Amino acid sequence: MFPLMSTPTLLRTATAELYDAHVLKNYARAALTLVRGRGASVWDDTGREYLDFTSGIAVSALGHCHPHWVAAIQKQAAELIHTSNLFRHPNQAELARRLVGYAGPGRVFFCNSGAEANEALIKLSRLHGLQKAGGEEGKCYKVICAKSAFHGRTFGGMSATPQEKIQKGFRPLTPGFVFGELNNLQSFADLVDDQTAAIFVETIQGEGGVNPCTPEFLVGLRELCTKNNLLLLLDEVQCGIGRTGAFYAFEHAGIQPDAIGMAKGLGGGFPIGAVWIRDNVAELFHPGSHGTTFGGTPLACAAGLAVLDVLEQEGLMAKVRAQSVPWIRALQGLVQEFPQKVVAVRGQGYLVGVQCAQDPAPVVAALREAGLLCPTAGGQVIRLLPPLTATAEELERSVALLRKVLQGNS
């Protein structure tokens, strides 16, 4: 389908030089230019194929260029791309209906990214605090988050992300965020006071090192919130939309949050973010209290609908549940095989972290050389994020490549 024609050397050099000259230097970018993708594979500008377990950082849920998704975007692009939120469009209505179907009775707000979804959650916590304080602004505004969290790069998200490398240089931050130990319910309970409006955690921390909340911790947070009239806000930006084998990762714990932030996999590569807020709480927003020009365009929602179609029609969540079990077991075998190098393997479904004994950057670079693309995460972790369409063979290949690199990597 794709001509495997390599980009001329001149053009390759030009791309690198143009990046050097004109693109903001806010990333430590790999020296790799990707030019096309299909399923779990991407090709660079020399025609070399890689197994892509970065998936655009948990974004390309259907892999690259799934035919149903491509057709949906092409059709919608030829019909109507953007309308603003001053008017209705059937795609936004239908995507909201389907997300409510997964989350429960409530309402959906569409935006463009994970950080924007989380901004809306943080604003929701302020509105809830305002109501709790009988309408007195600035009285009840605190949000309890977790250490090692990552909620995005906007001022709200960054302030909820207690990491020096992210906050450095940008202070003063948004006030009101306090931090407990993940999976230590008492440390969260100890932080609750009259000024607390919400608890906000990732169901599985992604950037922080693939650290799942235990089911008991989530159940405990739910009880703590209910008892103290706090909102339980869950960041499912990275772990949601089928990645763990359930549509939302919190489903495994059998709890119900008050609001959910999502993005990444929802558009399958097209930018879209969304917030679901449960009934009664959703009414805290009223016309004029929040908004965005681009959120939930006909095109973005067409991409989201196509992702949900494929998730459902191809039974991807059941496949993730089934195929991840032997894959994670095989990865865990690396802990015994390379005890000097691999400390632990954790995660769920297709969101897995391989914790290394040393800085994982050289291993990730060697994996790239060997033909596997994957990102790192905090705590010396190699993150593996296959598309939800990845086959058992592709998963096995990732283990073989890791083994090969770990054998060669001294």
Which residues of the shown chain bind ligand PLP in the complex (CB under 6 A)?
Answer: 57, 113-115, 118, 150-152, 202, 206-207, 235, 237-238, 263
What distance in Å separates the CA atoms of residue 364 and residue 370, rounded to the nearest whole number?
10
Verify whether residue 227 is a known catalytic residue: no
Verify whether residue 150 is a known catalytic residue: yes
Beta-carbon contacts of 307 under 8 Å, excluding residues fewer than 6 positions away, are 61, 62, 69, 241, 265, 266, 267, 268
What distance in Å separates the CA atoms of residue 257 and residue 106, rounded to the nearest whole number?
11
Q: Which of 53, 235, 250, 258 is catalytic?
A: 235
Q: Which is nearer to ligand PLP, 249 or 342 (CB)?
A: 249
Residue 214: how many CB atoms within 10 A of its CB?
12
Q: Which is nearer to ligand PLP, 44 or 202 (CB)?
A: 202
Q: Which is nearer to ligand PLP, 126 or 243 (CB)?
A: 243
Q: Which of 109, 200, 250, 264 is catalytic?
A: 264
Q: Which is nearer to ligand PLP, 111 or 406 (CB)?
A: 111
Q: Minimum Å distance from CB 272 to ligand PLP?
A: 10
Q: Minimum Å distance from CB 112 to ligand PLP?
A: 8
From the list 349, 271, 268, the residue with the least C-alpha distance to 68 is: 268
Q: Minimum Å distance from CB 189 to ligand PLP?
A: 23
Q: Minimum Å distance from CB 276 to ligand PLP?
A: 15
Verify whether residue 258 is a known catalytic residue: no
Q: Minimum Å distance from CB 260 to ligand PLP?
A: 12
What distance in Å separates the CA atoms of residue 140 and residue 131, rounded to the nearest whole number?
9
- The CA-atom distances, in angstroms, between 12 and each of 16, 18, 30, 129 are 7, 10, 14, 53
Name the residue whose CB lies closest to ligand PLP. Answer: 114
Asked if 162 contacts 145 with a C-beta cutoff of 8 angstroms, the reply is yes
Alpha helices in 235-352 (DSSP H): 298-313, 316-337
What distance in Å separates the CA atoms of residue 125 and residue 307, rounded to the nearest whole number?
29
* Terminal alpha carbon distance of the chain: 40
What distance in Å separates the CA atoms of residue 340 and residue 358, rounded to the nearest whole number?
9
Q: Which is nearer to ligand PLP, 202 or 258 (CB)?
A: 202
Q: Which is nearer to ligand PLP, 386 or 399 (CB)?
A: 386
Burial environment of residue 373 by CB neighbours within 10 A (0 to 12, 13 to 18, 19 or more): buried
Asked if 402 contacts 334 with a C-beta cutoff of 8 angstroms, the reply is yes
What distance in Å separates the CA atoms of residue 173 and residue 177, rounded to the nearest whole number?
9
Q: Which is nearer to ligand PLP, 113 or 244 (CB)?
A: 113
Q: Minimum Å distance from CB 153 to ligand PLP?
A: 6
Asked if 176 contacts 155 with a C-beta cutoff of 8 angstroms, the reply is no
Q: Minimum Å distance from CB 47 to ligand PLP?
A: 30
Q: Which of 150, 188, 250, 285 is catalytic?
A: 150
From the list 268, 289, 267, the residue with the least C-alpha distance to 277 is: 289
Enzyme catalytic residues = 150, 235, 264
